Amino acid sequence: MKVVEGYIFLRELRFHAFHGVMPQERQVGGDFILDIRVGYPLEQAMTSDEVQDTLNYASLYELVAQEMGQPSKLLEHVAGRIVRAIEKSFPQVSSIDLKLTKQNPPMGADCQGAGVEVHFERS
C-alpha cells in the first residue's frame, strides 16, 4: 500500500497568551484556539507500530505551546514562528496548515473570534 499523503493534526488547542497590539492584551492576555495539520510520511509507522516512525503529536504540541508562550503583537508573527519551528524540528514535514483564532478580539464586534490561517508547503 502506498500512502500519497498523510497528516498528523491537533484540533482546538486552547491557550491563554499575551498576543496583541493593545497594551491591555499584552498585560492581561487573551484566549486563543489553534488548529494545526502537518503533512508527514506515515507509511513506516503504519506498518511498524512504533512512535519513532511518526511525528509524535505530544512533541508537536510542546513545540506549539512553547511558541504560543512568547508574546507577539501580530498573530501572523506567531503563526510564522510556529511554522518555522516545526520546519526546523521535523525536516520530513511536507506541509503545514495552521489556523490561529483570538477569541473575543478587542474590536467591538460580537463574534466567535478573529485570526489567521496559513498554509506552508515545502518546496
Q: Can you tell me the distance from the alpha carbon of 21 to that of 9, in angstroms, rounded to the nearest whole number?
A: 29
In Å, the largest CA–CA distance within the chain is 54
pLDDT of res. 2: 67
User: What residues of the chain score a pLDDT lower than 70?
Assistant: 1-4
- Cβ-contact 96, 86 below 8 angstroms: yes
What integer pLDDT is reported at residue 3 of this predicted model?
A: 61
Out of 2, 73, 99, 102, the active site residue is 102
Confidence at residue 33, expressed as pLDDT on a 0 to 100 scale: 98
Q: Which of 1, 27, 39, 17 is nearest to 101 (CA)?
A: 17
- Looking at residue 105, what is its pLDDT? 84
What is the 3-state composition of the chain as percent helix, strand, coil, each rounded to the nearest 5? 35, 30, 35
Q: What is the pLDDT of residue 112?
A: 87
Does 88 qualify as catalytic in the annotation? no
